[in-house]
Amino acid sequence: MSEYIEYLQEVFEPFGPVRARRMFGGYGLYHDGLMFALVVDDVLYLKADHHSRGAFEQAGLPPFEYPRDGQLVKMSYYQAPEELLEDPDQTVVWARRAFEAALRARSGNRPRVQT
Protein backbone atom coordinates (compact mmCIF):
# COMPACT_ATOMS: atom_id res chain seq x y z
CA MET A 1 0.00 0.00 0.00
CA SER A 2 1.33 3.43 -0.88
CA GLU A 3 2.30 6.01 1.71
CA TYR A 4 -0.40 8.30 0.31
CA ILE A 5 -3.10 5.69 0.97
CA GLU A 6 -1.84 5.22 4.52
CA TYR A 7 -1.87 8.99 4.95
CA LEU A 8 -5.47 9.19 3.66
CA GLN A 9 -6.58 6.54 6.14
CA GLU A 10 -5.25 8.81 8.89
CA VAL A 11 -6.87 11.89 7.35
CA PHE A 12 -10.28 10.19 7.34
CA GLU A 13 -10.06 9.11 11.01
CA PRO A 14 -12.41 11.93 12.14
CA PHE A 15 -15.01 10.52 9.70
CA GLY A 16 -14.55 6.91 10.74
CA PRO A 17 -12.63 3.81 9.74
CA VAL A 18 -11.63 3.64 6.09
CA ARG A 19 -10.33 0.57 4.29
CA ALA A 20 -8.38 0.73 1.02
CA ARG A 21 -8.65 -1.88 -1.70
CA ARG A 22 -6.53 -2.02 -4.83
CA MET A 23 -8.43 -1.71 -8.10
CA PHE A 24 -7.82 -0.71 -11.74
CA GLY A 25 -4.38 0.76 -11.14
CA GLY A 26 -5.61 2.78 -8.17
CA TYR A 27 -7.41 2.26 -4.89
CA GLY A 28 -10.99 2.36 -3.72
CA LEU A 29 -11.61 3.77 -0.25
CA TYR A 30 -14.43 2.11 1.68
CA HIS A 31 -16.40 3.04 4.77
CA ASP A 32 -18.97 0.60 6.17
CA GLY A 33 -18.49 -1.58 3.10
CA LEU A 34 -19.25 1.15 0.56
CA MET A 35 -16.75 2.74 -1.78
CA PHE A 36 -16.96 6.50 -1.33
CA ALA A 37 -13.60 7.57 -2.75
CA LEU A 38 -11.16 6.68 -5.48
CA VAL A 39 -7.41 7.30 -5.60
CA VAL A 40 -5.64 7.34 -8.97
CA ASP A 41 -2.05 8.55 -9.41
CA ASP A 42 -2.10 9.86 -5.83
CA VAL A 43 -5.11 12.09 -6.53
CA LEU A 44 -8.15 11.68 -4.28
CA TYR A 45 -11.62 11.70 -5.85
CA LEU A 46 -14.88 11.58 -3.91
CA LYS A 47 -18.18 10.01 -4.94
CA ALA A 48 -20.74 12.51 -6.23
CA ASP A 49 -24.26 12.35 -7.60
CA HIS A 50 -26.98 14.73 -8.72
CA HIS A 51 -27.53 15.80 -5.08
CA SER A 52 -23.90 16.63 -4.35
CA ARG A 53 -22.29 17.40 -7.73
CA GLY A 54 -23.01 21.13 -7.39
CA ALA A 55 -20.74 21.45 -4.34
CA PHE A 56 -17.84 20.02 -6.33
CA GLU A 57 -18.56 22.16 -9.38
CA GLN A 58 -18.97 25.31 -7.27
CA ALA A 59 -15.53 24.63 -5.76
CA GLY A 60 -14.08 24.24 -9.28
CA LEU A 61 -13.19 20.58 -8.74
CA PRO A 62 -12.89 18.41 -11.87
CA PRO A 63 -14.43 14.96 -12.32
CA PHE A 64 -12.35 11.84 -12.71
CA GLU A 65 -12.08 11.14 -16.45
CA TYR A 66 -10.41 8.48 -18.52
CA PRO A 67 -10.24 7.70 -22.25
CA ARG A 68 -12.22 4.75 -23.61
CA ASP A 69 -12.82 3.90 -27.25
CA GLY A 70 -11.69 7.34 -28.39
CA GLN A 71 -14.00 9.19 -26.00
CA LEU A 72 -13.46 10.78 -22.61
CA VAL A 73 -15.57 9.09 -19.94
CA LYS A 74 -16.49 11.07 -16.83
CA MET A 75 -17.06 9.05 -13.70
CA SER A 76 -19.24 10.04 -10.77
CA TYR A 77 -16.16 10.94 -8.71
CA TYR A 78 -14.76 14.46 -8.34
CA GLN A 79 -11.38 15.62 -7.14
CA ALA A 80 -11.37 16.29 -3.42
CA PRO A 81 -10.73 19.84 -2.19
CA GLU A 82 -7.40 20.60 -0.54
CA GLU A 83 -9.09 21.73 2.68
CA LEU A 84 -10.25 18.14 3.21
CA LEU A 85 -6.62 17.18 3.80
CA GLU A 86 -5.92 20.12 6.11
CA ASP A 87 -9.05 20.57 8.24
CA PRO A 88 -10.65 17.64 10.12
CA ASP A 89 -14.03 19.40 10.11
CA GLN A 90 -13.89 19.69 6.32
CA THR A 91 -12.76 16.07 6.11
CA VAL A 92 -15.96 15.00 7.81
CA VAL A 93 -18.17 17.30 5.69
CA TRP A 94 -16.76 16.11 2.36
CA ALA A 95 -16.46 12.46 3.38
CA ARG A 96 -20.06 12.42 4.60
CA ARG A 97 -21.19 14.04 1.35
CA ALA A 98 -19.38 11.33 -0.66
CA PHE A 99 -20.60 8.51 1.56
CA GLU A 100 -24.21 9.71 1.28
CA ALA A 101 -23.83 9.69 -2.52
CA ALA A 102 -22.57 6.11 -2.26
CA LEU A 103 -25.57 5.19 -0.11
CA ARG A 104 -27.95 6.69 -2.67
CA ALA A 105 -26.12 4.86 -5.46
CA ARG A 106 -26.50 1.58 -3.61
CA SER A 107 -30.22 2.14 -3.34
CA GLY A 108 -30.42 2.60 -7.13
CA ASN A 109 -30.81 6.40 -7.40
CA ARG A 110 -27.86 7.01 -9.68
CA PRO A 111 -26.56 7.40 -13.18
CA ARG A 112 -23.35 5.32 -13.26
CA VAL A 113 -21.16 6.67 -16.05
CA GLN A 114 -21.53 9.82 -18.11
CA THR A 115 -19.97 10.15 -21.56
Q: What secondary structure does DSSP assign to 44-101, as a single string?
A: EEEE--TTTHHHHHHTTPPEEEEEETTEEEEEEEEEPPHHHHH-HHHHHHHHHHHHHH
- Whether the CB-CB separation of 99 and 105 falls below 8 Å is answered with no
pTM: 0.88
Per-residue pLDDT of the chain (115 residues; tens, 9 = 90+): 689 999 999 999 999 999 999 998 899 999 999 999 999 999 999 999 999 999 999 999 999 998 899 999 989 999 999 999 999 999 999 999 999 999 999 887 544 444 3
Neighbours of 8 (CB within 10 A): 22
Which secondary structure element, helix H or strand E, spans residue 7, and what is its range?
helix 3-11
